Amino acid sequence: MIRRSYPAGSASNLWSVVCRLSPSLTLTTGAGSIAVAVGPDRSSGHLALEVSDLTVTYGPTAAVQGVSFSINEGEIFGLLGPNGAGKTSTLSAIEGLVKPGSGAIKVDGIDARARPGDARARIGVQLQSTSFQKELTIRELVRLYSGLYGASRSKSAADEHLAAVHLDEEAGKRFGQLSGGQQKRLALLIATVHDPPLVLLDEPTAGLDPQSRRQLWERIEHMRRSGRSVLLTTHSMEEAQSVCDRVAIIDHGKIVSLDTPAAERPITTAPGIGLILTSLLDADLRVQLRNGRALVVSLFLPMVLMYTLGAGKRGALFPASTRLAIAVGVGITSVAILGYTATVARDRETGVFQRLRVTPAPTWAIMSSRLAVQLLSILVMTVVVFIVGGVLLNLTLQPGAYALTMVVAVLGGAEFLSIGQAIVGLLKSADTVNAIGRLLYIPLFALGIVANVSIFGSTVETIARWSPGGALISMLAGAMAPAAWNSDNWWSVLVSLAYSLVFVAVGIRWFQWETR
């Protein structure tokens, strides 16, 4: 039997928790403490996880207070407690999703705070609420996370993984098309696709029917038999007694410590950044290609505007090259302000970012991949607008204009993507981000149009000229006539770079990976 001592001050709370969850749990009381005995001790001499004096706070609220425990190799360890006891906060600190206020975390001997990438490479994580990119099939999801963890990304390897959990016939489906039990199986598969020595499971059977729950317990027991260590949180004593070798009760963020000597063994490093970026870029590109609405908006609106600005008397106001520049500018605004902000806000709110961040992928790589795909979309849009505009406007540009315009499109894309980053940094709700994005969309590109007409007065035209949209259109118009490029165009480049630096600083400073 294993005995745990708890401070007398928490006795009444712990007694109510334990009695409610299981009448079969053995409790003995002594002076100033309550002892909890659960199951046999499986000590292998090697520690898969060490947590020492961990604290986690959210503002003035202390969610975890001085938590210490360790898990042996090949052991299933449970954190048992009611909702709000601190179980998920403890796991989030181990996973690297929240920054501890103090304490130490070692994963297989690796300091998780000093070497977070190497620590995450040795952890598999199943979050309490799992969400994935809705545009990807489950085979593509397995390939994505295999790459992020440094495992094989081949289609055959992904199919073998899916067959092992009886999901091979569902490989072409998307996550939302699976049943609840199938979603849990896929989440557990992705958590263990790299064969980690330590697996963290947050309420793994929540919401499952009895049959699916038993199947998941069998899967967890299989992980232990294969030599993995498991840390799971639960509020069910039945679950704790069924699968756990040891159980620690957590209440109001406090449990007792377990002191077991650790043994060293070779440390596995995180996968190479090349494989991580390849996996992220592949997944983000697939998501972008399947986002039909964003593709239509980024291509359709520039074409419509290019045509309408040349209709009737408006044609005299805007030369063909200016109309082409405005069309490209509208496309850039559409990609950055309507497309990028919406997907980032959605994935943050649904938990996609949270799932990606528990992998060894650095946070800069996760965001850089998305930004790179958006810039690629802008370049493709620019080429399409050039082709269609050349036909509609009967316009032939000077030699070198095409290459220079592509460079300027990247600069303008960076400017407007930084504005989008600031929007998702300052605003948290996806609905709010979408509403503000639509509200800002028209003024941002409309000011670029106003800067090229002489009917609103000098003050308005000056403001419009040096607005983000005005600077963008000036750069694009100058790039389409490189022989006439002048100091005014260079000033537009400097203004665009200044906007990029300011807005990206705002976006980085206030951006949060979670909505809470």
**Residue that wins the pLDDT comparison between 127 and 14:** 127
Cβ 283 vs Cβ 144: under 8 Å: yes
Residue (of 380, 498, 371) closest to 424 by Cα position: 371
Quick one: pLDDT at residue 320? 80
pLDDT in tens, 303-346: 877 777 765 445 556 778 888 888 899 999 999 999 999 999 99
Task: Say what percent of the chain tops pLDDT 90.
Answer: 31
Residue (of 249, 136, 149) closest to 192 by Cα position: 149
What is the average pLDDT value for the chain, to the nearest integer? 81
If pLDDT is split at 50, 70 and 90, which confidence band does 165 have? confident
Cβ 150 vs Cβ 193: under 8 Å: no
Three-class SS of 302-343: HHHHHHHCCCCCHHHHCCHHHHHHHHHHHHHHHHHHHHHHHH
Q: Using CA atoms, how far apart are residues 104 and 51, in angstroms rounded to an integer?
A: 6
Question: Is the pLDDT score of 31 beyond 50?
Answer: no
Question: Is the pLDDT score of 79 beyond 90?
Answer: no
Question: Is the pLDDT score of 11 beyond 60?
Answer: no
If pLDDT is split at 50, 70 and 90, which confidence band does 256 have? low
Q: Which residues in 54-79 are b (16+ Cβ under 10 Å) and which e?
A: bbbbeeeebbbbebbbbbbbbbbbbb
Task: Say what percent of the chain tops pLDDT 70.
Answer: 85
Quick one: pLDDT at residue 10? 39
If pLDDT is split at 50, 70 and 90, which confidence band does 184 have? confident
Length of the chain equals 516
Which of 182-186, 290-294, 295-299, 316-320 has the least mean pLDDT? 316-320
Question: Is the pLDDT score of 451 beyond 60?
Answer: yes
If pLDDT is split at 50, 70 and 90, which confidence band does 453 have? low
| 409-437 mean pLDDT | 94
How many C-beta neighbours within 10 Å does residue 481 have? 16
Quick one: pLDDT at residue 42? 44
CATH architecture of the domain formed by 40-249: 3-Layer(aba) Sandwich (3.40)
What is the token pair recorded at 499?
């906007």
CATH 3.40.50.300 positions along the chain are: 40-249
| 212-229 mean pLDDT | 82
| 60-71 mean pLDDT | 88
pTM for this entry: 0.75
Q: Using CA atoms, how far apart are residues 128 and 105, in angstroms rounded to an integer?
A: 21
**Residue that wins the pLDDT comparison between 323 and 456:** 323
Cβ 37 vs Cβ 80: under 8 Å: no
Q: Which amino acid is at 293?
A: R
Quick one: pLDDT at residue 456? 64
Q: Using CA atoms, how far apart are residues 491 and 475, in angstroms rounded to an integer?
A: 9
Helices (H), 193-291: 210-225, 237-243, 273-289
Quick one: pLDDT at residue 364? 92
| 6, containing H or E segment | strand 3-7
| 388-397 mean pLDDT | 81
Question: Is the pLDDT score of 482 beyond 50?
Answer: yes
Quick one: pLDDT at residue 13? 40
If pLDDT is split at 50, 70 and 90, which confidence band does 268 have? low
If pLDDT is split at 50, 70 and 90, which confidence band does 458 have? confident
If pLDDT is split at 50, 70 and 90, which confidence band does 368 have? very high
Question: Is the pLDDT score of 240 beyond 80?
Answer: no
**DSSP letter at 438?**
H
Q: Is residue 59 classed as helix, strand or coil in its secondary structure?
A: coil
Degrees to nearest 5, angle at CA 232 with 227 and 238: 105
| 186-210 mean pLDDT | 86
| 497, containing H or E segment | helix 487-510
pLDDT in tens, 131-157: 898 899 999 999 999 999 888 999 999
Q: Using CA atoms, how far apart are residues 344 and 330, in angstroms rounded to an integer?
A: 20
Neighbouring-strand partners of residue 56:
64
In DSSP notation, 335-369 reads IIIIIIHHHHHHHHHHTHHHHHHTSS--HHHHHHH
Question: Is the pLDDT score of 485 beyond 80?
Answer: yes
Q: Using CA atoms, how far apart are residues 495 and 470, in angstroms rounded to an integer?
A: 10
If pLDDT is split at 50, 70 and 90, which confidence band does 427 have? very high
Q: Using CA atoms, how far apart are residues 125 and 133, in angstroms rounded to an integer?
A: 17
Question: Is the pLDDT score of 120 beyond 80?
Answer: yes
Q: Using CA atoms, how far apart are residues 328 and 298, in angstroms rounded to an integer?
A: 9
Q: Which amino acid is at 346?
A: R
- Quote the distance between the C-alpha of residue 75 and its chain's center: 30
Question: Is the pLDDT score of 16 beyond 50?
Answer: no
Residue (of 207, 409, 214, 421) closest to 325 by Cα position: 409
Quick one: pLDDT at residue 378? 94
